[in-house]
Structures are given as structure tokens and as C-alpha cells.
Amino acid sequence: MIELRGISKVYKQGGREVPALQDVSLRVEPGEVFGVLGQSGAGKSTLIRCVNLLERPTEGRVRVNGQELLGLSPEALRKARQGIGMIFQHFNLFSSQTVAQNVAYPLEVAGLPREQIRTRVAELLALVGLSDKAEVYPARLSGGQKQRVGIARALAPRPRILLSDEATSSLDPETTRSVLALLKDLNRQLGLTVLLITHQMEVVKALCDSAAVLEQGRLVEQGKVLDLLSRPGTRLHELCYPPFSTGEGPVLRGGYRVALTLSGEHSTRPILSTLARRFDVDAHLLEGSLERVGEARVGRLLFELTGAPEAVRQALVFLREQGLTTEEAARAA
């Protein structure tokens, strides 16, 4: 579990004060994948580095794995950090060491016997699918393979928490997907709690149970990803789903234009044919998408309803009664 309470961070730069975080509180439950989204300069790196005290907050409290970190002695903090692994955008591997030596490093620092280290490294490389690369140097690996080494090294001391600082930001889309799948697997297999920062929406949709949005050092929203994405008007919905290009579709005179976000049971129901059958209206599809968000699906539909005015009105009431939020329900020109 990670709990940040009222975290603020002010950097001092050439006599000037740069506020990076202001009164940030968040809680990551055990076994959860929690994503913090934000644009460049929002304070994401500062936030994640406050969790293992690579950066000391100016104010606030940091509680990890049941332990208050601020105020620990250097030795106790070193020990606490073994329970918090971290991976980085640029991998941070030792270029003059082989893959196996990179993964072994934290175990050597912890003073494990050589034989145990060998066994553990083999186990970790198997876990990330790199058993055949043990003796290879990082320069001979692809970006995705380097990040797998980073993950194996971070997991070596068996941490319960993994911090991910833009771990897929420099990878191509396909490699990103495979690294995200690996992180999801590790989260499930090991019950690993993951806190990640990213500016990539697809990372949040593919991997995160919960998310928060950071803007200019402040958390402006946090909650369950599926819940936030299901509700038009939330910041996460806005960031993940750009507005429909309504003007470009065929506009049917006299129709009512409706934009819906469908999730949960609604994402598997034949909503348009239900409207047509029950209310004798026609639904003309203008735009739409259906995509996976974790284990669930979220659909977005823009369509125009035509028919007798009373029938259209009843169809709209029905949508509302179903708990479907219509982003827009305006009579087309």
C-alpha cells in the first residue's frame, strides 16, 4: 500500500522557488495498478520519486508498506527501499555489465550468497522471457528487452511495490503492448502493487485499475479508470476521448444527434436496434468505437435519431432511464 498525504515539493533554483507539487494526496491499494497521468512539467516524476524518497517532499507524509518513510534512519530507509522496485524510461542499465550482472546487482548489494544470486537471476530472467540473453550486454538488446532487464532487476529483491517512471515512453507501440502485458502478468502473478506515471492514455486504458490526473502540480481527479472513462465530463474521459468530429458526418435534417459512452453491461447490448424496435425511430450511425479498457469494454457512439418527434423524445427518455449519459442531444440543423 502507498499513501501520500498532503505532499508539496518546492525546488530551489538559483534563489528562485519552483513549486512542483501542491498538496497531493493519493492512496494505492495493495495489488492495484495505479496510473498518474499528466503533461510534461505537471510534476509526475517528482511525485513518483517522493514515494521512495529519491526526492524529499517539502511537506506531507509518505507511508509505504505500512511504514512512515520520512523520519527513518538512512539504514532503515535503505531497507524499506528494498520493498519498492523502480523502472525508468531510459532503463538505467549498466552498459559494461551483462544482463545477468545487471539483474544480480541489487542482490549483491543486499549481500546474498553467490549461489542464491545465480538461482534468483535465472528465475527472474525466465520470468521476463530473457533466459537466452543472460550473457549479452545491454547494447545488443532492443528497447523492449532492455526494459525487461530493468523489470527483472527491479524485482530481484522481491519488492511488493513497483514504481514505473514512464517505462514505455521510448518504446514503439507493439513493444509497449508487450511490456504492458508483462507488467499486468506480474501484477497478477505476484500480487505486485504498481504505481506508474505516464503521459500515454493507452497505458492507463490497458493496465490501470485506478488513475489520477496531475495538472500543474495538483491532482485534479482520481478514481477507478472504468468509472472515470464511463462518465463524459471527467478529465480522464476528456483526455482519452477527443470530441467527435460531428460536423464531418452526414447530417440528417430533423434528426436528434446523440453521443453516448457505453460501458459495463451497456457495451454488450444492441442499443441501436433496441431503439429502432421499441420506438419506431431510425438511428443513423455517424461515428463510433469500441475498445478494451482492462478486462472491460468502453464504446463511444455518435448517431442521429430520426422519426416522429414523440417517438424520438421517448427514445431519448429511454436512454436517460438506462443511465446512459448523452453528451449532446441537439436537433441537427
At residue 24's C-alpha, the angle toward residues 23 and 30, to 5°, is 150
Out of 6, 18, 29, 330, name the contact with ligand ATP by CB under 6 A.
18
Please check whether residue 275 is in contact with residue 315, taking contact to mean a CB–CB distance below 8 angstroms. yes
Q: What is the nearest approach in angstroms of ligand ATP to the Cβ of residue 156?
A: 26
Q: Confirm or reject binding of residue 164 to ligand ATP (CB under 6 A).
A: no
Supply 287's cell numbers.
461515428
Q: What is the nearest approach in angstroms of ligand ATP to the Cβ of residue 238?
A: 18
User: SS in 3 state form for 48-63?
Assistant: HHHHCCCCCCCEEEEE
Sheet holding 2-13, edge to edge: 16-28, 2-13, 59-64, 67-68
Element (H, E) at 121: helix 114-127
Q: Confirm or reject binding of residue 255 to ligand ATP (CB under 6 A).
A: no
* Among the residue ranges 37-45, 98-106, 109-117, 135-143, the one whose residues contact ligand ATP (CB under 6 A): 37-45
Q: Is the CB of 100 or the CB of 213 nearer to ligand ATP?
A: 213
Q: What is the nearest approach in angstroms of ligand ATP to the Cβ of residue 171?
A: 16
Q: Is the CB of 17 or the CB of 321 nearer to ligand ATP?
A: 17
Q: What is the nearest approach in angstroms of ligand ATP to the Cβ of residue 167?
A: 13
Out of 2, 20, 154, 163, name the contact with ligand ATP by CB under 6 A.
20
Any idea what DSSP says for residue 140? G
Q: Confirm or reject binding of residue 138 to ligand ATP (CB under 6 A).
A: no
Q: Is the CB of 125 or the CB of 214 nearer to ligand ATP?
A: 214
Q: Confirm or reject binding of residue 13 to ligand ATP (CB under 6 A).
A: yes
Instruction: Provide the mask over 43-62, with x wherever binding to ligand ATP is found by CB under 6 A and - wherever it is not.
Output: xxxx----------------
Distance of CA 279 to the CA centre of its chain: 40
Exposed, middle or buried, 167 (CB in 10 Å: 0-12/13-18/19+)? buried
Q: Residue 9's beta-bridge partner residues?
A: 21
Q: What is the nearest approach in angstroms of ligand ATP to the Cβ of residue 169?
A: 8
Report the C-alpha gap between 307 and 67 in whole angstroms. Answer: 63
Q: Is the CB of 28 or the CB of 214 nearer to ligand ATP?
A: 214
Instruction: Provide the mask over 172-211, with x wherever binding to ligand ATP is found by CB under 6 A and - wherever it is not.
Output: ---------------------------x------------
Q: Confirm or reject binding of residue 87 to ligand ATP (CB under 6 A).
A: no
Out of 26, 28, 37, 42, name the contact with ligand ATP by CB under 6 A.
42
> Residue 313: which residues within 8 A CB-CB, separation 6 or more?
none
Q: What beta strand segments (E) does 65-118 contain?
A: 67-68, 84-88
Tell me the helix, strand and coil percentages in the chain, rounded to 5.
Answer: 40, 30, 30
Q: What is the nearest approach in angstroms of ligand ATP to the Cβ of residue 56?
A: 12
Point out which residues bind ligand ATP (CB under 6 A): 11, 13, 18, 20, 38, 40-46, 199
